[in-house]
Chains A and B, each alone.
Chain A
Amino acid sequence: MADLGKKFDEELKDLKEYIALATVDAKNYQKTNLDIIKHLTQNENIPGVYVTLNKPHAVLKKLFDKANIDSRLIIFIDAVTQIDSSEVKRKDNCLLIGNPENLSDISIAMDQAVRAIKGKEKFLFFDSLSTLLVYNKAATVARFIHFLATKMRSWQVKGIIISLRKESDKELINELSQIVDVLIDLGGD
């Protein structure tokens, strides 16, 4: 936590708003996500939106509780719980969206959630680029991330896009590094 917080501070201390593409290896993936969220909600005390394409929000909430992260500060957009349905459903502070192919609904949900949160400082955590690539073509993902980056700038948020460090995604990550403000390597082989 301390290392990650340091690394985050080092890379992003001068930026009030940023778009960071963080790459991490599979082994450290979960811990890294938790550390970043903990850093944002606990150290910086800012609310935000967590877009999950990997773990259902119920599982995430349990993990957050275990890690002493206040999940009440987070609005979840979950595109994994109802993977076999295209219906959009609401559950407390979580919006369940069909599946990660449904980029239109994910975009609307992010826009609404981010704009709803008042205050100058907020974050948007996108988990993850690698999963998006499983469901969509690389060109579609690149276009979507480009759109997301533009939106993040207009929303004036701290935007973090997580990606697994995989050989197959290297090309896309290199391409996206031009769009984002910082490319952070958060460990791995």
Chain B
Amino acid sequence: MKYNKLGVLFALVAVASGLVAIFRIVLDTEVAVGFVTMSFGVLAIIWTYSAYKSLSAGSSLKIHTRNFLLCLVFILLFTIWHTMSKLFRWRETVNEYLLYPGYLFLIMAFLIFVLTSYQILSMGKEFGFESQAKEIEKIISQKKNSVGVKKSKNAK
């Protein structure tokens, strides 16, 4: 327990130092934010990919995880594109239109987000048992009531 707390403390210190270092080395705030976002994005992708690998083939959760992974990939691509474009001033030095591929990545991410949201909606409908549970509750209370009535009749 003590070691766990120490570990969390060290991790927080490491993340904070990393952030300070990025902002010190990269003087442009937008680029620095881009690098920080990218590192979080990569971590999110690593975790989601490990989850994807451990889930059963063909399961709803695996399909959902795959879609979520695709969203993360497109968002990361957008961040990479945007940061690189800022860092190397592509819009000024190469072409103004180099802004648009980044937006394409963002559009793709949101399209897949919609698909993923629809899938989680279907999962909610399929895996949700609330109405059945209410029905069961009703039957149980009816049974208890009828037992109570029988007992009181017998007592009389």
Residues of A within 8 A of B (CB): 45, 47, 70, 72-73, 75, 86, 88-90, 92-93, 95, 98, 101-105, 108-109, 112-113, 116-119
On whether the beta carbons of B132 and A93 are closer than 8 Å, the reply is yes
- Listed residue (B123, B128, B132, B139) with the most chain A CB atoms within 10 angstroms of its CB: B132
On whether the beta carbons of B59 and A116 are closer than 8 Å, the reply is no
Residues of B within 8 A of A (CB): 55-62, 123, 125-130, 132-133, 135-137, 139-140, 143-144
Contacts of A119 in B (CB 8 A): 137, 140
Contacts of B143 in A (CB 8 A): 45
A70: min CB distance to chain B, Å:
7
Q: How far is the CA of A43 from the CA of B140 in the complex (A)?
A: 13
On whether the beta carbons of A70 and B139 are closer than 8 Å, the reply is yes
Contacts of B60 in A (CB 8 A): 88, 104-105, 108
On whether the beta carbons of B133 and A117 are closer than 8 Å, the reply is yes
- Listed residue (A70, A95, A102) with the most chain B CB atoms within 10 angstroms of its CB: A102
Given contacts A75-B136, A103-B56, A119-B137, 9 further A-B contacts (CB under 8 A): A45-B143, A75-B133, A88-B126, A88-B127, A95-B126, A102-B56, A116-B129, A116-B133, A118-B133
